[in-house]
């Protein structure tokens, strides 16, 4: 019943109007064809305000937003783009750990908003990738410290200096999450293959459609893309998890990628290096590489949606 409700609601909301005025990815980087992103999107219009704001969001907690923000930011920086990664998770920051710069935080987001330091004093340059900078969330303040005018000023400054501003949203749909999505040009909606996650993503998609700055100013809508995270193809075959196709149908936004469950993610976080830096050495790293390619409009077939073929010995012993 819930499945049906979400599906009918979302499919009704997803019309050609949802993708109308599509300006992303940039014309030069657009894929000639891809089975995943919408091939028939209308002519592209360039953004007018400098850098592009990409918000990684979900509604539900613990689905992989920060993991995704770190890998997307690093992946874009590795491609030569200047990237600022912003942690909006006031009181529960984690992006600094994923990027391995937790010991170098002197000033944070709220310090900048309150005028206690300049933005460039709070931006931390990545030790390995000079194109990547991070602005940490405050660990000790309340989410309300993200004053809307202050956030707007910071985003505006970052747009003028960076190609991409990647915003790591907190869980939920309250103040912090709303601030993180408000300025978005592009939203990546992280969803795990379980109903509660799909339902929370559905809610977040509606909020972004109606309450973003683009919606308020009646400009082209925020481009929303689905990223399915922590996917376990074996469990999908056993029907213990929703399939990527079902999730996409229910949410009705283009699928940017499927990131499999992988133990390398935790190891990478402990090392302070986003899992994308492992590249083809592990499926999760490779999946994030694919996501960056598609994000930049490159053709890249979908992987990691089918269970792995079992080897002869593991088949024999049932493992």
Ligand X SMILES: Nc1ncnc2c1ncn2[C@@H]1O[C@H](COP(=O)(O)OP(=O)(O)OP(=O)(O)O)[C@@H](O)[C@H]1O
Q: Which residues bind ligand X (CB under 6 A)?
A: 58, 61-67, 89, 94, 170-171, 229-230, 259, 261-262, 265-266, 269, 284
Residues 52, 49: Cα–Cα separation, whole Å: 8
Other beta carbons less than 10 A from residue 163's beta carbon: 17
CB of 111 to Mg ion, least distance (A): 20
Note whether 66 binds Mg ion by CB under 5 A: yes
Which of the listed partners (Mg ion, ligand X, none) does 62 bind, with a CB threshold of 5 to 8 Å by partner kind? ligand X
Nearest to 137 by CA among 171, 86, 100: 86
Smallest distance from ligand X to CB 146, Å: 15
Question: Shortest approach of Mg ion to residue 201 CB, angstroms?
Answer: 15
Q: Which of 200, 302, 291 is nearest to 251 (CA)?
A: 200
Distance, CA of 160 to CA of 239 (rounded, Å) = 47
Dist. CA 268–CA 271, nearest whole Å:
5
71 near Mg ion, rule: CB under 5 A:
no
**Which partner, Mg ion, ligand X, none, binds residue 155 by CB below 5 to 8 Å per kind?**
none
Q: Is 65 in the site for Mg ion (CB under 5 A)?
A: yes
Q: Which does 64 bind (CB under 5 to 8 A by kind): Mg ion, ligand X, none?
A: ligand X
Q: How far is the CB of 63 from ligand X (least distance, A)?
A: 4
Residue 186 partner contact from Mg ion, ligand X, none using kind-dependent CB cut-offs of 5 to 8 Å? none
Report the distance separating Cα 35 and Cα 13, nearest Å: 22
CB 87 within 8 A of CB 96: yes
CB of 263 to ligand X, least distance (A): 7
- Among 297, 295, 61, 51, smallest CA distance to 183 is for 51
Contact pattern from residue 14 through residue 53 relative to Mg ion, giving x for each residue in contact according to CB under 5 A and a dash for the rest: ----------------------------------------
Q: How far apart are CA 183 and CA 213, in angstroms?
A: 6
């Amino acid at each position: 019943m819930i499945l049906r409700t979400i599906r009918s609601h979302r499919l009704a909301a997803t019309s050609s109007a949802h993708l109308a005025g599509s300006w992303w990815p940039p014309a030069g980087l657009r894929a000639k064809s891809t089975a995943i992103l919408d091939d028939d999107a209308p002519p592209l219009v360039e953004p007018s305000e400098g850098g592009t704001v990409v918000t990684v969001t979900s509604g539900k907690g613990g689905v992989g937003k920060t993991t995704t923000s770190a890998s997307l930011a690093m992946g874009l920086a590795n491609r030569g783009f200047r990237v600022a990664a912003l942690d909006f998770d006031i009181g529960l920051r984690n992006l600094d750990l994923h990027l391995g710069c937790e010991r170098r935080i002197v000033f944070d987001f709220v310090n900048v908003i309150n005028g206690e330091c300049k933005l460039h004093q709070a931006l931390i340059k990545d030790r390995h990738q000079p194109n990547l900078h991070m602005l940490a969330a405050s660990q000790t303040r309340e989410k309300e410290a993200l004053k809307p005018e202050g956030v707007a000023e910071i985003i505006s400054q970052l747009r003028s200096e960076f190609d991409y501003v990647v915003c790591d949203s907190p869980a939920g749909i309250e103040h912090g999450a709303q601030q993180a999505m408000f300025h978005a040009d592009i939203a990546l909606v992280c969803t795990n293959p379980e109903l509660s996650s799909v339902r929370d993503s559905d809610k977040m998609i509606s909020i972004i459609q109606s309450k973003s700055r683009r919606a308020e100013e009646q400009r082209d809508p925020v481009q929303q893309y689905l990223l399915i995270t922590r996917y376990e193809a074996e469990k999908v075959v056993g029907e213990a998890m929703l399939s990527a196709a079902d999730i996409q149908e229910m949410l009705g936004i283009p699928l940017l990628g499927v990131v499999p469950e992988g133990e390398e993610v935790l190891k990478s976080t402990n090392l302070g290096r986003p899992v994308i830096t492992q590249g083809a050495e592990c499926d999760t790293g490779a999946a994030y590489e694919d996501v960056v390619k598609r994000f930049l409009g490159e053709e890249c077939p979908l992987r990691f949606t089918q269970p792995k073929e079992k080897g002869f010995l593991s088949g024999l012993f049932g493992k």
